[in-house]
């Protein structure tokens, strides 16, 4: 980094790491290590936080780390740095998912930096969405955003395709909810402790009366295994809402990482515009419904996340692990 910069490399990268910590992750597991090394920030997968039942291949863990990577990119851009990004830079260390290196010179403006203020405002919103439609020009811009990150965003508008997505989403939810191991893992990563710094808190989950079941047309994941959810029991999610399917043409760790970057880029853009979003991943997690979705929608891409978008009351923020447990600085 050039001499005379407003901040030292360590300070710049530290802020980027702090922003990365605010990214969404599967079950709020926050499965990342962030290492500042010289003029670079490394994003490592914390495999001790990988969901063994839900995510045995590490796809969702990697996608989550992609969201953290996007936040770091945005934070650096807000400070004028178009970071040099290396994805999976060392084949001998697959847990090292990305390395961001500061360029020689600081610029005046990097476009994605405009999303920096949206990072602390972004939420996973499991509330009922308003009837107001998402404008077509917003959807059009989101498709372009996904493309810019090497992903594909498909708005699901065909009535038959909407029915397929809803049916397979419910079926995936039923399959997962019938698995005792899945329910046990879900219980581990949900909490009614307001001071816990990871997992999905009761304040952000619909009330389910201590059982896992969905009455909504589109099955949102029900985290309330203890009957302590604070939100209304139904999110009223259905096929009359804006549904966007995010996918990638490849199906490997680099593609999963890029999908996470695309997802967070979309989410930050939606947050900046005042829209809420909630992801549906059950239909992708279950092999049976994953393949049926590809077949019945005639997809060439590999689906990664089904996203519900709209207007909704504000959701609560979830806590984050302490910086001391996540960020390391190595000379």
Task: Please write the tens of the pLDDT for every residue from 140-169.
Answer: 999 999 999 999 999 999 999 999 999 999
Average pLDDT estimate for 264-268: 98
Residue 130 lies in a domain: no
Residue 30 sits in which domain range?
9-118+319-330
Residue 208 lies in a domain: yes
Compute the distance between CA of residue 112 and CA of residue 104 in angstroms, rounded to an integer. 19
- Rounded to 5°, angle at Cα 230 from 228 and 233: 90
Same domain, 70 and 142: no
Same domain, 248 and 149: yes
Same domain, 28 and 81: yes
* Residue 200, pLDDT score: 85
Same domain, 241 and 323: no
Task: Check which CATH number belongs to the domain holding 281 and give it.
Answer: 3.40.109.10
- Copy the structure tokens of residue 134: 């998402």
Residue 76 lies in a domain: yes
pTM value surpassing 0.85? yes
Tell me the pLDDT tens digit for each residue of 17-45: 999 999 999 999 999 999 999 999 999 99
Residue 4 lies in a domain: no
Average pLDDT estimate for 45-67: 98
What separation in angstroms does the CA of 290 have from each of 62, 81, 87, 147, 192?
A: 18, 38, 26, 22, 32
Same domain, 80 and 157: no
Same domain, 306 and 160: yes
Q: What's the number of domains the chain is made of?
A: 2
Average pLDDT estimate for 223-236: 55
Q: Which contacts qualify for 228-231: CB closer than 8 Å, 24 or more apart?
A: 228/192, 228/202, 229/202, 229/205, 230/202, 230/203, 230/204, 230/205, 231/126, 231/127, 231/204, 231/205, 231/206, 231/207
What separation in angstroms does the CA of 302 have from each of 100, 153, 162, 246?
A: 27, 11, 17, 9
Alpha carbon of residue 272 to chain centroid = 16
Please return the burial class of 230, using the count of CB atoms within 10 Å of its CB with bins 0-12, 13-18 and 19+.
Answer: middle
């Amino acid at each position: 980094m050039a001499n005379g910069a407003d901040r030292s490399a360590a300070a710049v990268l530290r802020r980027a790491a702090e922003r990365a910590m605010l990214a969404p992750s599967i079950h709020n597991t926050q499965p990342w290590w962030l290492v500042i090394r010289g003029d670079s920030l490394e994003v490592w997968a914390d495999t001790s936080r990988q969901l063994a039942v839900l995510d045995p291949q590490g796809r969702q863990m990697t996608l989550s780390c992609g969201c953290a990577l996007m936040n770091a990119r945005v934070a650096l851009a807000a400070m004028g740095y178009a970071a040099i990004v290396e994805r999976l830079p060392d084949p001998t260390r697959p847990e090292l998912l990305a390395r961001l290196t500061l360029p020689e010179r600081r610029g005046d403006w990097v476009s994605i930096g405009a999303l920096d203020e949206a990072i602390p405002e972004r939420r996973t919103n499991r509330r009922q969405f308003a009837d107001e439609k998402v404008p077509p020009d917003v959807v059009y811009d989101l498709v372009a955003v996904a493309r810019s990150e090497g992903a594909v965003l498909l708005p699901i508008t065909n009535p038959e395709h909407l029915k397929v997505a809803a049916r397979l989403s419910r079926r995936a939810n039923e399959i997962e909810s019938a698995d005792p191991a899945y329910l046990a893992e879900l219980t581990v990563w949900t909490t009614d402790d307001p001071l816990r710094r990871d997992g999905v808190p009761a304040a952000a989950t619909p009330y389910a009366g201590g059982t896992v079941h969905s009455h909504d047309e589109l099955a949102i994941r029900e985290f309330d295994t203890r009957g302590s959810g604070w939100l209304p029991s139904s999110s009223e999610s259905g096929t009359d809402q804006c549904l966007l399917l995010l996918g990638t043409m490849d199906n490997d760790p680099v593609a999963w990482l890029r999908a996470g970057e695309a997802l967070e880029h979309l989410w930050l853009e939606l947050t900046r515009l005042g829209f809420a979003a909630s992801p549906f991943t059950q239909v992708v997690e279950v092999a049976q419904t994953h393949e049926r979705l590809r077949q019945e929608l005639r997809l060439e891409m590999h689906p990664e996340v089904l996203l519900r978008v709209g207007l909704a009351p504000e959701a609560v923020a979830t806590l984050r692990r302490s910086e001391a447990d996540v960020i390391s600085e190595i000379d």
